[in-house]
A and B are shown apart, each in its own frame.
Chain A
Amino acid sequence: MKPRQKRLVYIVVALAAVGVAVALVLNALKDNVSLYFTPTQVYNREAPIDRSFRIGGLVEAGSMKREGDGLTVHFVITDLKKSLPVVYKGILPDLFKEGKGVVAQGKMEADGVMHASEVLAKHDENYMPPEAADALKKAKSVQ
């Protein structure tokens, strides 16, 4: 082999080795790389229930209730299979809406409710003007 072919082979082998190593590490750390757990994972006891963790999903339609102080909010996070109640005291992000994505960080208490210390809104990758969104909603409700 010419030296330049040898160098090419070395580089390809090195890159493949690093790629495999990184893939293995990331796979082993899967739960740590993911930002949040789904309600199903919480029910399957895959989440660290004894300490603070993040849970993500959709805000269940009709589940949002405000307490008299105007700051404390109760809602339910669902992944459409399982759902989990959350209570949060603080200002919610603008995009927080029923039926929309949400990520809450907090601790599961004995009452089976997550007491959240931080609530973040998760939006999707679709962008359209309000008129198009209205039309889409109407089309859905007709179905």
Chain B
Amino acid sequence: MAINWFKYSAPTMFYPLAGKLIPWFAVSSAILFAVGMYLGFVVAPADATQGEFYRIIYIHVPASILSMFLYLVMAAYAALGLIFNTRLSSMMASALAPTGALFAFIALWTGALWGKPMWGTWWVWDARLTSELILLFLYLGFISLHASIDDPRRADRAAALLAIVGSVNVPIIYFSVKWWNTLHQGSTIKFSGTSMQITMQHAMFTMLAACWLYAVAVVLSRVRSIILERERHAKWVAELPEVAL
């Protein structure tokens, strides 16, 4: 059976599809969080040098990965919206920004809590930490720029430009530990494999999947609200069962 994916790029079709998908993503995310926490705190052993403190990694690394990846997805949607003038792409970009910002915040927060007992400091202005902080401000800049312009189409375009230009920062975060001397250690997950014991890996990838599913669920829910808000004068919105109530 051939599925016409383009059909779903119209808000009219995407809205009910997203509504059907959200519970699945939410439930599987909750299950994976439970499994991941069990693996991370019960099954995985303590680390040889860092003892129990290293367990922060199971939230720190997934949050950091998502903060960077969601930014790229947001910038890609923003670019699509700018180029093709599609309504849904810009709405997706706006829906992604708050979740990305929260993941960036979690990455910085858990990083500080990890840094204090291990490095001996909450914060240091090294390239990795600073560029991740810039990422958080890019998200906040995107959100406030979008909110400051009343006309939604103009707001989409202005914020899209910021998102696209800011995407230069993502490879800087990723490669910062290679390009410069930093206090932050190198990447544990590399393209060539990981430098981590296998049960620790299972725990981390489970938590990563859980964070992914969580992000998809909240972003879909948020984009549904944005669709309703922007299309409130459309006939199909008036015909929705939850509106007609």
* Chain A residues within CB distance 8 Å of chain B: 4, 7-8, 11, 14-15, 18-19, 22, 26, 30, 33-38, 56, 92-96, 100, 103, 118-134
Contacts and interface: CB of A to CB of B under 8 A. Distances in A.
Contacts of B167: 15
24 contacts: A7-B83, A14-B164, A15-B164, A26-B172, A34-B127, A35-B183, A37-B181, A96-B120, A103-B183, A119-B120, A120-B120, A121-B119, A121-B120, A122-B119, A122-B185, A123-B49, A125-B195, A126-B188, A126-B195, A127-B47, A127-B196, A128-B197, A129-B197, A130-B48
B185 A124 contact: yes
B83 A125 contact: no
Instruction: Name the residue in B45, B118, B181, B195 with the highest tally of chain A Cβ atoms < 10 Å from its Cβ.
Output: B181
A24 to B, nearest CB: 12
B192 interface: no
Contacts of B191: none
Interface residues of B, number: 40
A124 B165 CA distance: 32
Contacts of A35: 124-127, 180-183
A4 B54 contact: no
B125 A18 contact: no
B164 A11 contact: yes
A127 B54 contact: yes
B9 interface: no
A15 B120 contact: no
Contact of B46 (A15, A56, A129): A129
Contacts of A118: 120-121
Interface in B156-187: 164-165, 167-168, 172, 179-183, 185-187
B165 A18 contact: yes
A43 to B, nearest CB: 16
Contacts of B195: 125-127
Nearest to B84: A4
Contacts of A34: 127, 180-182
Interface string B46-87: 111110001001000000000000000000000100111100
A45 B224 CA distance: 60
Nearest to A103: B183
Nearest to B171: A19
Interface in B195-217: 195-197, 200
Contacts of B46: 129-130
Nearest to B117: A94
Nearest to B196: A127
B49 A133 contact: yes
A127 B180 contact: no
A129 B195 CA distance: 12
A4 B118 contact: no
Contact of A11 (B54, B83, B118): B83
A26 B172 CA distance: 10
Nearest to B130: A33
B168 A123 contact: no
Given A11-B82, A33-B127, A125 B165 contact: no
Given A18-B168, A35-B181, A8 B47 contact: no
